[in-house]
């Protein structure tokens, strides 16, 4: 079986939904499983619904209507028959969303977030399912919440591999084309969970691992894995072959093409991962596979924006010891703040971190009570794999360098514009 993952950009409008049909007809689709993300910026729109549910009740209906209008515009462009069953299916999904909003009693923001945001993938895959049927591509729609089983860590759920394997093997058979959702699963009580932003790649890897897939292909709007993000760097170069290890390193440091958790399930069974362009499906793209020698021969540049640089020092000028560092990291874990760079001296300790759940102000109060603290917001973290010193000035330009760290293969710099 082959696994194909289509992200939000590849199904962002009716033109791109039609293009999915073209991709499948080009590369083949028998004995395959499609994982699809929410359409375009739907996840962001549903995040606004969640925010309004808690903090701006008067705006809920308007924010839901925006989601409806977006999807119905796509449906109307794809399906000429107003009595097509797609309309009933989509209406049912929106009715279930409204029922949840009206009946929910939980004050847990993360729980409510997952119940609402999961509808993005349910909507997109329902539309894709019916459109492919109209293109004479027979397929079976499968609810990922029946397949991917997780714990109750809402917004960043951990997969229960044993239960997930049992569910997938019971429901997915060979010689069929299936369509399911990325990013979402369910907890032991049947409530929706999500695997973290950009978790659809991880979903594809989970299916690939359990189904012993021939390959997993991620369809993107770029020709493959590039040595830098073309939004921030010029003259990017396609990396045609890279090893699992190198891809994991790039993902860990923040390369946006592959989700950090995606590679491990594939590496375990040596399943090759392909990153290809849905605009030019006939091109080879990038192959990620086994092979220690598959190293990029050019520097690879990664930038993470909107980071925090936090510096701590003891108030009595005593040393920062292991127990201090342990306490600090317990707080980072408690507030879901991801640390990317660590640097310490005898009496100070600095980290570059990401506050994706907006908990820093709470953490700041606790840290300030124990340490002298300074911080910079909205800094950028640049990571260069296989760096060359002569190219660094080009990156720095007129930016202010706040922190720099170098090892054999990798250089990291925290800068302020």
Burial of residue 7 (CB within 10 Å: 0-12, 13-18, 19+) is buried
Q: How many CB atoms lie within 10 A of CB 363?
A: 20
- The second-level CATH assignment, the architecture, of 300-416 is 2-Layer Sandwich (3.30)
Beta-carbon contacts of 378 under 8 Å, excluding residues fewer than 6 positions away, are 305, 306, 307, 416
| Residue pair 121/145 in contact by the 8 Å Cβ criterion | no
pLDDT at residue number 295: 62
Q: How many CB atoms lie within 10 A of CB 368?
A: 12
Beta-carbon contacts of 233 under 8 Å, excluding residues fewer than 6 positions away, are 301, 303
Relative to beta strand 2-6, strand 372-385 is: unpaired
Helix, strand, coil % in the chain, rounded to nearest 5: 40, 25, 35
Which pLDDT band holds residue 268 (cuts at 50, 70, 90)?
very high
Tokens of 132: 């492919």
pLDDT at residue number 253: 87
pLDDT in tens, 324-374: 899 999 999 999 999 999 998 888 899 999 998 899 999 999 999 999 999
CA distance 33 to 172: 9
Fold observed for domain 2-220: Carbamate kinase (3.40.1160)
CA distance 389 to 395: 11
State mean pLDDT over 383-411: 87
User: What integer best gives the mean pLDDT of the chain?
Assistant: 94
pLDDT in tens, 21-56: 999 999 999 999 999 999 999 999 999 999 999 999
| Residue pair 382/302 in contact by the 8 Å Cβ criterion | yes
Q: Break the chain into its structural domains and give their ranges.
A: 2-220, 300-416
- Residue linked to tokens 């279930």: 96
Judged by average pLDDT, the poorest of 67-71, 251-255, 328-332 is 251-255
């Amino acid at each position: 079986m082959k696994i194909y993952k289509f992200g939000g950009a590849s199904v962002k409008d009716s033109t791109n939904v039609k293009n999915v049909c073209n991709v499948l007809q080009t590369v083949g689709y028998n004995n395959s499983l499609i994982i699809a993300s929410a359409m375009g910026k739907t996840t962001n729109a549903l995040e606004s619904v969640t925010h309004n549910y808690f903090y701006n009740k008067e705006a809920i209906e308007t924010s839901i209507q925006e989601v409806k209008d977006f999807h119905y515009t796509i449906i109307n462009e794809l399906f000429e028959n107003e009595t097509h069953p797609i309309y009933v299916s989509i209406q049912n999904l929106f009715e279930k969303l409204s029922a949840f909003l009206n009946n929910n009693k939980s004050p847990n923001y993360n729980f409510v977030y997952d119940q609402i945001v999961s509808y993005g993938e349910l909507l997109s895959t329902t539309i894709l399912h019916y459109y492919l049927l109209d293109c004479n591509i027979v397929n079976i729609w499968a609810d990922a919440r029946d397949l991917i089983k997780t714990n109750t860590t809402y917004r960043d759920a951990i997969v229960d591999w044993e239960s997930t394997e049992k569910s997938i093997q019971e429901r997915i058979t060979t010689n069929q084309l299936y369509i399911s959702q990325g990013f979402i699963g369910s907890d032991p009580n049947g409530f929706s969970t999500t695997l973290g932003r950009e978790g659809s790649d991880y979903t594809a890897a989970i299916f690939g691992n359990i189904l012993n897939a021939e390959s997993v292909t991620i369809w993107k709007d770029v020709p493959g894995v590039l040595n830098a993000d073309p939004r921030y760097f010029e003259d990017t170069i396609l990396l045609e072959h890279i090893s699992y290890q190198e891809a994991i390193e790039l993902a860990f440091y923040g390369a946006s093409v592959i989700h950090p958790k995606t590679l491990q399930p594939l590496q375990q069974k040596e399943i090759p991962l392909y990153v290809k362009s849905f605009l030019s499906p006939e091109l080879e793209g990038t192959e990620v596979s086994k092979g220690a020698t598959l190293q990029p021969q050019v520097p690879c540049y990664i930038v993470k924006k909107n980071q925090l640089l936090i510096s701590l020092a003891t108030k009595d000028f005593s040393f920062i010891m292991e127990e201090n560092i342990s306490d600090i990291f317990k707080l980072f874990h408690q507030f879901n703040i991801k640390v990317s760079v660590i640097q310490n001296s005898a009496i100070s300790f600095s980290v570059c971190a990401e506050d994706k759940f907006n908990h820093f102000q709470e953490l700041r109060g606790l840290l300030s009570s124990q340490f002298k603290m300074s911080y910079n917001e909205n800094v950028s973290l640049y990571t260069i794999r296989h760096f060359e010193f002569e190219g660094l000035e080009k990156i720095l330009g007129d930016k202010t360098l706040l922190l720099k760290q170098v090892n054999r293969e990798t250089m990291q710099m925290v800068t302020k514009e």
